[in-house]
Amino acid sequence: MVASDRQRVDKWLFFARVVKSRSLAAKLAQAGKVRVNGNRIEQAAYQLKIGDVLTITLERRILVYRLLDPGTRRGPAEEARQLYEDLTPPEPRREAAPADVAVRDRGAGRPTKKDRRQLQRIFGEDS
């Protein structure tokens, strides 16, 4: 394999627009929040190769990417999407609120006395 077929994990995360800066990518890798082919890495200098599967744990989500191209620069988003195949499973759908919950229009202000009494009846807090 030619050396150009490999890429440092921090550079690749930056080029693929997973994080905003290369220093943040290095911190992410050193914190152990990146797995390559299921193995946790702790070095920003870890060499990725084409076909590797990365599991990236971010603050509110987990991303699963298959590396298709090491990349040469941080380009526009369309170019960044060509570097990987997204294998992230879809998020489960959230269930709707139960029907017995009182719904207020957004920005309607504070509840009135009538609204408060209705809420107390719903939650069984009649006094």
Tokens of 61: 């989500």
Tokens of 4: 């150009």
pLDDT tier for residue 120 given thresholds of 50, 70 and 90: confident
Task: Report the CATH superfamily, name and number, of domain 3-86.
Answer: RNA-binding S4 domain (3.10.290.10)
Calpha distance 30→104 (Å, rounded): 46
Q: What is the pLDDT of residue 1?
A: 47
Residues 48, 9 contacting (CB under 8 angstroms): yes
Domain assignments of the chain as residue spans, ordered by start? 3-86, 97-127
Mean pLDDT value across the chain: 88
pLDDT exceeds cutoff 60 at 3 = no
pLDDT digits (tens, 9 = 90+) for 87-112: 999 888 877 656 666 676 777 788 88
pLDDT digits (tens, 9 = 90+) for 67-89: 999 999 999 999 999 999 999 99
Kindly state the helix (H) or strand (E) to which residue 36 belongs, with its residue range: strand 34-36
Tokens of 96: 């709707």
pLDDT exceeds cutoff 80 at 113 = yes
Q: Which residue has the higher pLDDT, 127 or 73?
A: 73
Q: What is the pLDDT of residue 66?
A: 97
